[in-house]
Homo-oligomer: A and B are copies of this chain.
């Protein structure tokens, strides 16, 4: 079974998610630069979520590049990942509108955690199908970043109720950690 449509469908969903988040940036009614002030939190949250969805798209791109075939389990594991990603615009809007209040920040982390687990599941299902000696298994290797990220989210969620800014700092730090493109897969694949 070909992987083209799975890639095309995932591209479509992520492209739409990344784009409809911008609809949460409500157009201010005034025409002065100060009219933009109330939407600064929403804008910052948008940037953060844009980077996260960009990371997922990039990693998804790398992962399927190293994938040779598809089965029913992979299709559903992929839809499961897209489900959690589809909640990103909602939690982004909630966190942005409430100026980084504790609960929305924790829920934001919860969605990131669920997406990270879904990504890990998808990766495992693919490796299980392609075999331990496959390109993807070699490329993923120890998958240190993939294992640290959910732990950091799990720390950030309760932390949001104590020091909200610390939870935000963790989200930003994890994003920065991933912004470095996944050279492991890239180099393995190019070789």
- Which residues of A are at the interface with B, using a C-beta cutoff of 8 A? 1-2, 5-9, 11-20, 22-25, 27-29, 31-33, 35-36, 47, 50, 54, 57-58, 61, 65, 71-73, 75-76, 79, 82-83, 86-87, 89-90, 93-94, 97-98, 101-104, 107, 179, 181-183, 186, 189-190
Q: Which residues of B sit under 8 angstroms from A7, Cβ to Cβ?
A: 5, 8
Further pairs besides A9-B15, A76-B181: 13, Cβ < 8 Å: A20-B23, A22-B87, A22-B90, A23-B23, A25-B90, A28-B94, A31-B102, A54-B79, A58-B75, A58-B79, A61-B75, A71-B181, A72-B183
Q: Is the CB of B1 within 8 A of A65?
A: yes
Q: Which residues of B sit under 8 angstroms from A25, Cβ to Cβ?
A: 90
A-B pairs, top 8 by smallest CB distance, nearest first, are: A72-B181, A12-B15, A31-B101, A31-B98, A16-B19, A27-B93, A54-B79, A9-B11
Q: Which of B20, B28, B71 sits near A19, CB closer than 8 Å?
A: B20
Q: Which residues of B sit under 8 angstroms from A97, Cβ to Cβ?
A: 27, 29
In whole angstroms, how far apart are the Cα atoms of A29 and B186 in the complex?
Answer: 43
Q: How far is the CB of A175 from chain B (nearest CB, A)?
A: 12
In whole angstroms, how far apart are the Cα atoms of A5 and B3 in the complex?
Answer: 12
In whole angstroms, how far apart are the Cα atoms of A18 and B22 in the complex?
Answer: 13
Q: Is the CB of B14 within 8 A of A76?
A: no
Q: Is the CB of B20 within 8 A of A186?
A: no
Q: Which residues of B sit under 8 angstroms from A6, Cβ to Cβ?
A: 61
Q: Which of B2, B9, B93, B103 sits near A31, CB closer than 8 Å?
A: B103
Q: Is the CB of B12 within 8 A of A186?
A: no
Q: Is the CB of B190 within 8 A of A1?
A: yes
A103-B13 contact, Cβ under 8 Å, with A5-B61, A94-B27, A97-B27 = no
Q: Which residues of B sit under 8 angstroms from A5, Cβ to Cβ?
A: 7, 11, 61
